[in-house]
Amino acid sequence: MTPPDAQVQSRDGVTPSFMRGRDIVRVGLLLPFSLRPQDAAALYNAAELALFDHGNQNTLLIPRDAGSDEASANAAARALIADGADIIVGPVLREGVLGAANAARGDSVPVIGFSSDRTVGGNGVYLLSFQLEDEVSRIVSYAASRNIRTIALLAPSNEYGRRVEGALREEARLHGVTIVHSVLYNRTDTEASAAATSLAGALRTQPAQGILIAESGTALRSIGTALVRAGVDQRQTRFMGTSVWAGDAQREPTLAGGWYVSTDPTSRSSFEGRYQTTFGEQPTRLASLGYDAVALAALLSRDGGSNGISRTRLENSEGFAGSDGLFRFRSNGAVERGLAIIEVRQNEVGILEAAPQQFPRSGT
């Protein structure tokens, strides 16, 4: 972060003394420094790593705290625009993205936010996040291609679980899949285990070929153990999950043989290795988003400076190669990712279907 006494406010915006006279591209970082300091620190580290890997001497990062609500993010975004930001990276929370968007749209400053709620994107606001609706689409499509036509759902009774349930119903309709049971529970290990036991009982009278378990951490492990103890035969009922399984599933023996959706694991591993080498610690799950957003800003501005950062170039249909694999922005601001299907094996995972390396052309 540039010390305040080393920069001045020029007509064009914030200009550190060592950058005077240059055609500066200013990248505003709107991060949750006060609300989620661990995520903010990792995102900032990743942004600096991207600048080192892809930026040039004319790229300047300007960090500000996004605060805790829409109003504080709006005020911080306005301050960044006054600082001359050509693009704003962040915030993380839905309310923060709304606040930043309301500030930035009037000045035609693009925003690359990290909320997973696609309703806040569009009109120059892009969401470089992990979209669970696309993940559900990918796993249901893959399951249907393997002749799984009946699915049960286990999900927490919160916004995430309800969004998974809604997406599952839509994808099931599109792929000719029947949802035979849907069980939502309060998100504790005990409640998750009880819900799994209850579902196992219901499956004895109305079986399912697959169970989508929208869970992570110890609750996921509790569910796997409870299902197996209650007699669910994994040779007949496939356990399936979203990307939140990553890192947890392979440590739970009862989930061996399960499938889950993932961004490109090879790309992710490369990013994590570079981050670990540079900062001496593992990145958070969100850190790669900060890296990719800053790397993208650097790429687009490499030849044309700030003029290169435009909606047309951000919405390039061919997409970009990022830390989590292939991605591109749709005109509504949502991100589309190339997703892999992963199989859980004892203490490891295997790739059943690799993430695509390029998107299909429009109309194909």
Q: CATH number of the domain at 4-130+267-333, please?
A: 3.40.50.2300
Whether cis (ω within 30° of 0) applies to the bond prior to 207 is no
Task: Label residue 327 exposed, middle or buried (CB < 10 Å: 0-12, 13-18, 19+).
Answer: buried
Rounded CA-CA distance 196/223 in Å is 6
CATH fold match for the domains 4-130+267-333 and 132-262+340-353: yes
pLDDT at residue 364, as a whole number: 42
Q: b/e string for 314-324 if b means 16 or more Cβ within 10 A?
A: beeeebbebbb
Which CATH superfamily groups domain 132-262+340-353?
Answer: Response regulator (3.40.50.2300)
155-164, 243-252, 256-265: least confidently modelled range: 243-252
Distances (CA, A) of 113 to 122, 208, 232: 11, 38, 41
The residue count of the chain comes to: 364
The whole-model pTM stands at 0.89
* Whole-number average pLDDT of the chain: 94
Instruction: State yes or no: pLDDT of 6 exceeds 60.
Output: no
Residue 42 is which amino acid?
A
Tokens standing for residue 66: 């996004």
H-assigned helices in 146-215: 159-175, 189-205
- Residue-wise pLDDT for 117-167, tens only, equals 989 999 999 999 999 999 999 999 999 999 999 999 999 999 999 999 999
Q: Where are the domains of the chain?
A: 4-130+267-333, 132-262+340-353
Instruction: Give 155's strand partners.
Output: 184
Residue 11 has pLDDT above 90, yes or no: no
d(CA 317, CA 311): 12
What percent of the chain lies above the pLDDT cut of 90?
Answer: 88
Instruction: Identify the bridge partners of residue 181 per DSSP, sorted by sequence position.
Output: 152
Q: Is residue 361 very low, low, confident or very high in pLDDT (cuts 50, 70, 90)?
A: confident
Helix axes 94-104, 70-82, angle to 10 degrees: 40
